[in-house]
Amino acid sequence: MLVGDCYFTINEHDERQAEIGYTLSRAHQGQGFATEAVSCLLTYAFVTCNLHRIIAITDCENAASVALLERLGMRREGHFLQNVWFKGKWGDEYLYAILKEEWLNKHGSIVQE
């Protein structure tokens, strides 16, 4: 049974930056799995891969994803209007970002550089 997945991809023009993404099956939402998985992914990307900045893009109508990114300390930096064709209509997306120093300051007691 697949609970969900996470990924990150290094920016081809700047290897110190990346984008993360994730999906979670409806049956497993609201149980903290996404928070734990994305938190571990951010720690891995910043500490092990020594990245400087990570972004995430989410559908503006995905309240759970917006809440997750904000709960993790990511900052909304952009609002793209009708930039994606999704489920038969144009949709809006938010861009969130966090810097390594912000992540480590928030999670410094559990992350050792």
**Domains in the chain: ranges and CATH:** 4-107 (3.40.630.30)
Mean pLDDT along residues 99-109: 89
**Distance between CA atoms of 105 and 80, rounded to whole angstroms?**
29
**Distance between CA atoms of 2 and 28, rounded to whole angstroms?**
10
- pTM as predicted: 0.90
Please write the tens of the pLDDT for every residue from 32-88: 999 999 999 999 999 999 999 999 999 999 999 999 999 999 999 999 999 999 889
**Under a CB-based contact definition with an 8 Å cutoff, are residues 104 and 113 in contact?**
yes
Tokens of 37: 């998985």
